[in-house]
């Protein structure tokens, strides 16, 4: 069974508030530098139509459109979609992801990044729609929180902690999936997994800011370069296969519709 997390419920109000705390430009800058972007770009077909379901502020719709893909985004947050349209003229629409207002077999690729885990009933309704709108041979890119090595080691503690939060009134937030659970969920809808990639092993590094320069440029007080080099070395180490399996926060599956 996937590991369930409880805190604030991930309903419409939650996402409206969540996306309101970010800007499209901010998330677009993150996407340009993210290793996830390379994984997505390498897996997508160059031709045909691409749909991102649950696009939020639309940073990947904008970025992939800039790079030549024919892509559209859908989400249930009108505020997030409006914010994206102020930045770029890309195709966007408000839709319920479990019941897409789109015809069968309309798309050559389907992207879902950190979306399906938020349905307390499980990912099946959303994945069924993904399979429906994909052409045979179409590619599905689906990422979810990863039940990695560290989470497996702490699974008993995490389960008890989240049960306590639920008893105290916490709402369901998301599931974390093992590789086998994600592959099985995709397979139930005719989506055969071709590859999986753990990613985002260093969420805490985002808090590791470059310090202010206290001295003159290049002087004794300038510690920016050593700190930046240290962050780079840590990042390279974290993106080795063993540490990705141990610490990867998210898991991306690349699957093909049979």
Q: State mean pLDDT over 100-123.
A: 97
pLDDT digit string, tens, across residues 215-246 = 333 333 433 445 667 766 777 778 899 899 99
pTM: 0.86
Closest CA to 179 of 232, 143, 130: 143
pLDDT digit string, tens, across residues 113-130 = 999 999 999 999 999 999
Paired tokens of 102? 């789109």
Query: How confident is the prediction for the chain on average, in pLDDT?
Result: 88
pLDDT digit string, tens, across residues 156-179 = 999 999 999 999 999 999 999 999
pLDDT digit string, tens, across residues 5-44 = 998 666 666 666 666 678 999 999 999 999 999 999 999 9
What percentage of the chain reaches a pLDDT higher than 70? 84
pLDDT at 21: 78
Closest CA to 133 of 49, 69, 70: 49
Residue whose token pair is 């808090």: 207
Q: State mean pLDDT over 60-88.
A: 96
pLDDT at 1: 81
The 3-state DSSP class for residue 231 equals helix
pLDDT at 233: 73
Q: State mean pLDDT over 246-251.
A: 94
pLDDT digit string, tens, across residues 77-93 = 999 999 999 999 999 99
Question: Which runs of consecutive H residues, i.e. helices, occur in the chain?
Answer: 12-20, 24-33, 35-43, 59-66, 78-87, 124-133, 149-153, 155-167, 179-187, 224-238, 241-247
pLDDT at 238: 82
């Amino acid at each position: 069974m996937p590991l369930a997390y409880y805190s604030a419920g991930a309903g419409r109000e939650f996402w409206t508030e969540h996306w309101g705390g970010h800007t499209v430009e901010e998330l677009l800058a993150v996407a340009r530098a993210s290793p996830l972007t390379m994984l997505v770009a390498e897996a997508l077909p160059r031709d045909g139509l691409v749909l991102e379901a649950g696009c939020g502020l639309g940073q990947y719709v904008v970025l992939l459109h800039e790079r030549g893909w024919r892509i559209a985004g859908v989400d249930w947050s009108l505020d997030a979609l409006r914010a994206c349209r102020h930045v770029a003229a890309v195709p966007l629409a408000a839709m319920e992801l479990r019941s897409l207002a789109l015809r069968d077999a309309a798309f050559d690729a389907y992207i879902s990044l950190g979306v399906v885990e938020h349905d307390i009933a499980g990912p099946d309704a959303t994945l069924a729609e993904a399979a429906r709108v994909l052409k045979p041979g179409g590619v599905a890119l689906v990422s979810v929180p990863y039940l990695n090595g560290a989470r497996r080691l702490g699974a008993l503690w995490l389960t008890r902690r989240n049960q306590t939060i639920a008893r105290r009134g916490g709402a369901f937030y998301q599931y974390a999936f093992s590789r086998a659970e994600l592959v099985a969920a995709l397979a139930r809808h005719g989506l055969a997994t071709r590859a999986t990639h753990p990613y985002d092993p260093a969420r805490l590094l985002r808090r590791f800011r470059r310090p202010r320069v206290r001295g003159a440029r290049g002087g004794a007080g300038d510690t920016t370069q050593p700190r930046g080099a240290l962050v780079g070395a840590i990042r390279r180490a974290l993106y080795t296969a063993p540490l990705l399996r141990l610490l990867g926060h998210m898991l991306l599956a690349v699957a093909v519709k049979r």
